[in-house]
Every structure is written in structure tokens, then in C-alpha cells.
Amino acid sequence: MKIEDIDYSGLPEHMRNGAKLYIESGILPGSFMTAIISNDLATACATADSINKERIYEICSWFYLMAPSDCYGSADKMYAWVNKKRLERKEKFTS
């Protein structure tokens, strides 16, 4: 699946823009989603708002089913994704 074809509707509405900015541009989201992406579920539970607490399983499942596999799963993968997207943005503007 192409990044531009990702359907963000499976996420809570207030999480969609952060997920889109992260996946498409490598912009780090807030603490809850950063914890989900990094596979740090203890921090995700500690930082979740009331909506995300109820939907944490769905959010994790969404990343597994919809997000590129190299953008989530550990902090190392997350930072590698951010750096990759940063380089892509830089190349786009210097070309």
C-alpha cells in the first residue's frame, strides 16, 4: 500500500492528523502516539486520554494493519523513520 492511500479513519478523530504527519512527513506526534509507535505500552497507558484508554487496542491494531512496518515497533525504528522522512523533505526542497 502506498503511503498516500492509508486510511486514517480507524483512529480516533483527534489522533488522525498526528498519525498522518508522522507517517507522511516524519513529524513526531505527542507523547501517547510516540509511545504507541515505540512499542512502549506502559507509557502509552500512562499518557492516554480517556478516549485513547478505551481504544488503545484498536490504535495498536491500526498501526499493525495500516502503517508501514518500518515506521513503528521500537524507538529505533521510529527515529530511523523520522530521519528518513527528514532527508526526503530536504531532497524535495533542494532539487
Q: What would the pLDDT profile of 25-58 be if each residue is shown by its tens digit?
A: 999 999 999 999 999 999 999 999 999 999 999 9
Its pTM stands at: 0.92
| Residue 94 pLDDT level (bands cut at 50, 70, 90) | confident
The pLDDT value recorded for residue 13 is: 97
Which phi-psi region, left, alpha or beta, contains residue 12 (left: φ > 0; alpha: ψ -120 to 50)? beta
CA distances from 30 to 56, 69, 89 (A): 15, 20, 21
Count of domains forming the chain = 1
As a whole number, mean pLDDT of residues 49-74 equals: 97
Residue numbers of the domain that contains 19 = 3-94
pLDDT of residue 79: 98
Where does the pLDDT of residue 95 fall: very low under 50, low under 70, confident under 90, or very high at 90 and above? low
